[in-house]
Amino acid sequence: MNTLTGGTSGFGARNKYFQSQYQIVLRKALVAEKICTVDNSDLKTLQNPYGGQPTATIQAVAGTYAVTAWTITDDYLSVTDEVIYAEQIFAHEQFFAVFDIMASRLDNMMYAIAWGIDKYVLNNLLTAATTSTYDTPTGGFTSGGNINTIMGNLLSKVAGYQNVSQGTFLVIENTDLPGFAVAGATSGFSVADSVLRNGLMNQWMGTDIYVVRTGTFVTDTLGSTSVTNSGMRVFGVKGVSTYASPRGLQYDEKGVSGKTGKEVVVYGLVGFKLWTQSVPLIVAITLK
């Protein structure tokens, strides 16, 4: 089996191509890496124990105090799921192709796995946001008149926490963009110029805007987690959640008895955690 850190199958050139294209796919496809911390170690479980939130007492000068019992809660991330896809590429398909069909299929398979990991992480992040919720005005993000109100309300949800200095994000689907386009084109000169000339709407009120395709936020079973996220979006502070993908993407190719060519499988292990102490910093948005 080959991993991204080397290969032993003898297909050196193909493995080099895989490594190069994997990096390109990650840069273009994954929103999760921009808003979460990532762990690619071989660990199945990441431990993050925490104590209760201390509250200081304000009192007149007395020199006395009350002692509070301190307890520790074990918080952890477990790698429980995998994103996987496999194909059989027959020898005659490779022979008759005018280009390296194996390399082409690997490219497409990697893109599919990368998108699957992104979908898994984003939906788990949204599902874990149980403390801070927000219902948009009627029309949601598609109404230009709603944008400033929505963004102001979302920012108020996380304002006052030290972590906000790490930066905030909003993940929407492509169908939500019309409102940002209208609001941007009718805003102050620098914003309007950016939108009208270049179509740039990558930041609003200091919040980074990430756009994913329709169908990313779903009501479905994703691995070991059932999610009910249709008609929802997610906002929050960057870097307060973690997803683990031990060794990143991996692939294996093998000869199969009774078939010519190669059976190729690409897969990635994945686990996710919105750390308990940071749950209020992620906001689940319901579109109205």
Residue 102 has what pLDDT?
Answer: 67
Residue 230 has what pLDDT?
Answer: 97
Query: Taking each helix axis from N to C terminus, what angle separates 177-185 and 147-158, rounded to the nearest 10 degrees?
Result: 110
Contact 101, 281 (CB under 8 A): no
Kindly give the parts of the chain with pLDDT less than 70: 1-29, 92-102, 187-201
Instruction: Give 197-225 pLDDT, tens digit per residue.
Output: 444 468 889 999 999 989 999 999 999 99
Tokens (6 digits) for 118? 């992104």
Residue 60 has what pLDDT?
Answer: 95
List, in order of start, the domains of the chain with CATH numbers.
2-286 (3.90.1690)
Residue 271's nearest CA partner among 117, 130, 131, 128 is 117
Tokens (6 digits) for 73? 């809660």
**pTM for the model:** 0.81
Distance from C-alpha of 77 to C-alpha of 132, rounded to nearest angstrom: 21
Instruction: Give 87-119 pLDDT, tens digit per residue.
Output: 887 776 665 554 566 677 777 888 889 889 999
**Residue 241: HSE in the Cβ half-sphere, 13 Å Cα cutoff:** 31
Question: DSSP 3-state assignment of 105?
Answer: helix
